[in-house]
Amino acid sequence: MSLRISRFPMFLSVASLVSIARAAASPAVSVMTLGEALDYAHVHRPEVLAAAARVDEAVAQAAVTQSHWLPSVVGTAQLLATTTNNTTGSYLGASSFDNPRVSATRAETQATASLIPEASSLFGVSGRQELFDFGQIAAQEAADDLRSDVRRFEVVSTWLLLDFDVEEAYFAVLAARSVVDAAEQAYQRAEVHRDMARAGVDTGLRRPIELTRAEALLDRFDLERVRAQAGLTSAQLAFGASIGIPGRLLDAGGKVPETSDLPSLDVALARAEERNPDLAAALGKLRAQRQETRAIAATERPNLYASGALSGNAGGAMPTSGEAPVGNGLLPLVPNWDIGVVLGWPLYDPGTVARERVSRKAEEVARGDAEATRLHLLSSVGRAYVAVEASRDALPILQRTVQAAIANADQANARFDVGLGNAVELADAEDLRITAEIDLAVGRFELNRTRAALARLLAETP
């Protein structure tokens, strides 16, 4: 009997009873329907929160690309000591700071050139505005949008996996409770049989071995009752953990939801290819990688932007004409401004060529992953479909077996009552009955579990 019970995944051996008993000593068991459990898990399970955060991350990354259409403003302030051969105002290039050279010293010869530095200063603000990028930003935006779609498919996949975990735990609690009921009823019947055997021995109508056998059967069912209760507690713990409350006992309540009719295998395979989010995510990754390759190639196109700057600068060297500014180059008092349109064109960049080559290799990887995902999906759907059919076909047989076992137990009990049967015959009948009842509980669990697994592959919601 213990081997029969251990077939159910939530049931534990005797060695685990101590830890289960401690868990059972926790506060009263909460009760949730399947719908309530799913709603709670969708809000509290960290996997869902993390998946939603990844979608937000992808959307934020797309905003980075879109920001390239916005104007940028850069400021700089510099004080330098430089040599001044052929220029009276010197400054360093600041990132994205456009400032043309506006002054110069006299051109020096090799004989008159000096290595003595003069002071130079600069203060200015520069701005850029993208005018036309020949499709560079749009190509990257398309790649970002496809990656966001992949993240959304991953959220759906996470939800479906979570739904299956919750459903499996919910049905496990129901099955474990059925086993507890079967074990409890078997114990009560064994207790009645023990009392009858004791009365028979006391009156001399039965042999003492009948009583010892009945007592042994009672102890056996008592142990199975303890094990079944431990299995129920374990299932309730797993149900609580499945919705995001580890260490909390949660019982399954409400009416068991009805499942939809099983479609044909061809229809199931077609639905899986059309709806499954894992396959959609794999295909989305392939499309996103293709678009990334186009976006990398687009960086080799020209770029047209407007540029403007307002600055003040000064150099301490003697200019070719006019007077030297006040401050000997330490005060940027000479004002200048500029505005213009700039066309840049990266004619050849080996780094871009290498990145494009790597991206095309990544396309091949994504293409292989998508095909592998499709084949694995179709194989999983086929196996899940067969499992559902087998569980569905086995259920009527299990129900008939229970009915026959109950009838057999009733006959054995009647024979025992009138003195025609013995304790061995009664024990065999009780063993057959409780085994059939446990098999029926496991069979119902398997049907619900396999149907939920197939629904997950077909992207069906509970």
Question: Which residue carries 């008592």 as its tokens?
Answer: 222
Residue length, the chain?
A: 462
Strand order in the sheet with 303-315: 72-82, 118-132, 303-315, 334-344
Is a pLDDT exceeding 60 seen at residue 124? yes
Binned at pLDDT 50, 70 and 90, residue 273 comes out as very high
CA 345 to chain CA centroid, nearest Å: 43
Q: What is the pTM of this model?
A: 0.74
- The answer to whether residues 333 and 326 touch, using CB atoms and an 8 Å cutoff, is yes
Among 144, 165, 178, residue whose Cα is nearest residue 45: 165
What pLDDT shows up at residue 2? 36
What pLDDT shows up at residue 81? 61
The CATH number of domain 2-64+139-289+355-457, selected from 1.20.1600.10, 2.60.120.260, 3.40.50.9100, 3.10.20.30: 1.20.1600.10
Measured CA to CA, the distance from residue 197 to residue 217 in angstroms comes to 12
**Residue range 437-460, pLDDT digits in tens:** 999 999 999 999 999 999 999 998
Is a pLDDT exceeding 70 seen at residue 321? no
What pLDDT shows up at residue 72? 72
* Residue 102 Cα distances to 149, 203, 415, angstroms: 51, 126, 118
**Residue range 44-88, pLDDT digits in tens:** 888 888 888 888 888 888 888 888 777 877 777 766 665 544 444
**Residue range 127-152, pLDDT digits in tens:** 888 888 888 989 999 999 999 999 99
The count of C-alpha atoms lying within 13 angstroms of the C-alpha of 194, restricted to the half-sphere facing its C-beta, is: 17
Query: 260 or 28: which carries more pLDDT confidence?
Result: 260
What are the boundaries of each domain within the chain? 2-64+139-289+355-457, 71-132+303-344
Among 66, 272, 69, 56, residue whose Cα is nearest residue 147: 56
Measured CA to CA, the distance from residue 282 to residue 293 in angstroms comes to 17
* Residue 54 Cα distances to 47, 147, 154, angstroms: 11, 10, 9
User: For the purposes of burial, counting CB atoms within 10 Å of the CB of 138, is it exposed (0-12), middle (13-18) or buried (19 or more)?
Assistant: middle
Beta-carbon contacts of residue 400 (< 8 Å; ≥ 6 apart)? none
Q: Which residues of 209-229 are buried (b: 16+ CB within 10 A; e: fewer)?
A: ebbebbbebbebbebbbbbbb
Measured from the Cβ of residue 195, the count of other Cβ atoms closer than 10 Å reads 13
What pLDDT shows up at residue 86? 44
